[in-house]
Structures are given as structure tokens and as C-alpha cells.
Structure 1
């Protein structure tokens, strides 16, 4: 997505900055914090290896160890913004902003393990990622979601994303973090 006119005019937020700890709907203590390659890489590998194939969309996350490793190299490099949700030391969710053109624009991806879905973790993870992205200097964020994924679309709309392109196979949505 490159056309600024496809982003909402109004700035969304405010969004929390990491770290944040909360109790999910199941009573579990969840911490959302900045990704640290030394502390979180192994936990994210384990999370993605355990990821339910039914929850994969648009080919991500990848399905085998080598592909997951290569993909994580790309989405956790120095230019990206990443937050991880943890419970009892295990990664249970991950969200990333990958820089895109034009400058100060990023593409968003978010993943929550199936056993932790529908407990409010995705909402907190998403909001915290957007707060971290704003702090990192991103003005606009966009994403694509499969058009039949109503739970994800509802989550994005609740946080402030607006549909920007609904003509394709994927539903494109965008949000403005700063003017």
C-alpha cells in the first residue's frame, strides 16, 4: 500500500507502549513486551512450530523449522518493530511491523496460538504493537486479511483500522498513528 489517501484522516489511539502485563479472560497473567532476539528467539520458534495449520493465512507463518528460522530473520531485523506475548515463560503471541514504502509506513502481521485465542490477548498485543510502532516513528500501518476472517476484521476495526481496499481476494485495512 503506497497511496496516502487510502489511510484514514483521523489519528487512532492512544495506544499503550510495551511492556504491559494483564490478566486475560481465562485468568492467565500475560506480558506483552518488546521482542529480544536473545531471550525470545527459541520461544518464538517453539510457538510457530506448534502453530495450528488451520490458523495459517497467506502462507504465514511458515511450516517447517528452516522456513520459520528464515522468516523470523526477516521479520525481526533491526528495521522492524516486534512485540511478544508471554505466559509462564512461553511465547503465546507475536506481532510485527515491517517497514514499507513510503517512508514511516509499515505492514502489520499478528499471530496468537490457538489455545490463547478469544481471551483478549490479540487485542492487547495489537494495541501494544501499535504503541511501539508509534514510538518507533511509524505514521501509518496497513495489513491484509482474508476477507472471510470476520474475527480478525472485527478485531482490527475495534482497534481503529478501516477498510482501504475490499476489491481483491484479501481485505486491506489501514490505520493512521500520527499526522
Structure 2
């Protein structure tokens, strides 16, 4: 799957500061800190905010999950007034990486996910990644639209999920 240079040039490398649709100024930056700010963000996720079992339920399971993401992945966060309100990660596997993205429920649908994914992909590109894939629940139309707008294409359908991918 080859992307046009136009799509590749739209990737933003962190840091990036933008104003969301609610008028909030947020900053997207690479993240290599400890898990505490992320644990605090994920405390705002209820059952309706979870997809495909993520983020895990319970603080101890979240901490374990986050330690793995922070150790193995390329992480990017969005902050508003010092609080982490979005988190995205690329987990490298050989010549590709899996993408996961989460925006705190009260910050969704404001354009934060779009900027977060653009910065994450730019961060991955900057670190030499060439290909990214993800899975998304077939019923999660908002996420599917976000991924399509970021250049992802559906490549497989599996048991209620779509697999999507793109080149960087």
C-alpha cells in the first residue's frame, strides 16, 4: 500500500499545540514518563468507554498493561491544563507496528483524536517505522472514520472486527 507524499507530509511530529472544537488548548507530546498520569486518565473510562477489552478494568491490571506499553512502545499523550486526556501508542513488531489510541471520554469528538493520531504516526515515522496496523470493532464507526481520515484502509474482516493498515 503506497501513500502519496501529500498524505505522508500531513503527519505531524510532536510536540504540537492545537485548540480543539470545544476551545480547549491541548498539547500533544512524545511520552516516556511513568505510568501515573496515564493511570489517572484511564480512571475516567467506564464500561461504555472500553473497546475490545481496553483499557483493562482495575488499577492493577491497567498498571501492568501500561508498563508493557511504556517499555515496548512509542507513546504520545495529549495534555490539557497539565492532565493527560489522550494516549496513543505504536507497538513495534518486526517491520510493522500495532496502533492503539484512547481519548478520555469527556474530551472525545472534539478533534483531539485526529491530532493525536497524526502526531503518533509522525513520531513512528521519525523512529523509522514504515507500516502500521490496527484492529477496530466493526460497530465503532467513530473510530473507523478517524482511522480512514488518517489514511488507513480496511484489509481484513474478522469476527466483528476490521483490520486496517497503512504505510508511513
Structures share a fold, TM > 0.5? yes
Q: Please state how far the C-alpha of 1:167 moved relative to its aligned partner.
A: 4.3
Q: Which runs of 5+ in 1 are unaligned?
A: 1-7
Structure-1 separation of matches of 2:44 and 2:58: 10
Count of aligned positions: 165
- Normalised to the residue count of structure 1, the TM-score between the two structures is 0.88
Highest relative contact order (Cα 8 Å, sep 6+), 1 or 2?
1
| Aligned with 1:114 (options 105, 129, 133) | 105
Give 1:69's aligned residue: 63
Cα-Cα RMSD: 1.2
Equivalent position of 1:131 in the other structure:
122
Query: How far apart in 1 are the matches of 2:109 and 2:49?
Result: 13
Q: Extract unaligned runs of 5+ from structure 2.
A: none
- Residue 54 of structure 2 corresponds to which residue in structure 1? 60
Please give the TM-score of this superposition, normalised by the length of structure 2: 0.94
| Alpha-carbon shift at residue 10 of structure 1 (Å) | 2.6
In structure 2, relative to structure 1, the CA distance for the partners of 1:63 and 1:167 (3 Å cut) is: closer
